[in-house]
Amino acid sequence: MHITGIGSALVAGIVIGLLGRWLAPRRRPLGCLLTLCIGIVGASIGTAIGVAIHSGFWIVFVCQVVVAALLVSLFSAAAPKR
């Protein structure tokens, strides 16, 4: 993977992670690094789902955001209360 691929994955991870946090019903502070990781994982899983069902860009994007929102909800529920 080239450096541009890594950079674009980080930017996509930030965007997908923030959209996922915005859509998640529970709002707890997770931190920037965890949001980035959740966004990257959500984008990867959403892309795999979108490719598996042979869909276009927007359907893949929606899958990525929904998976990231589910992951944010999962991590928020598992996070210790402050």
pLDDT confidence bin for 11, thresholds 50/70/90? confident
Q: Are 27 and 78 in contact (CB under 8 A)?
A: no
Let me know if 49 is exposed, middle or buried by CB neighbors in 10 A (0-12, 13-18, 19+): middle
Domain ranges of the chain: 3-78
Task: Report the distance separating Cα 65 and Cα 23, nearest Å.
Answer: 8
pLDDT digits (tens, 9 = 90+) for 39-82: 888 888 888 888 899 888 888 888 888 888 888 878 877 766 66
Residues 6+ apart with CB under 8 A from 8: none
Give the pLDDT score at 28: 63
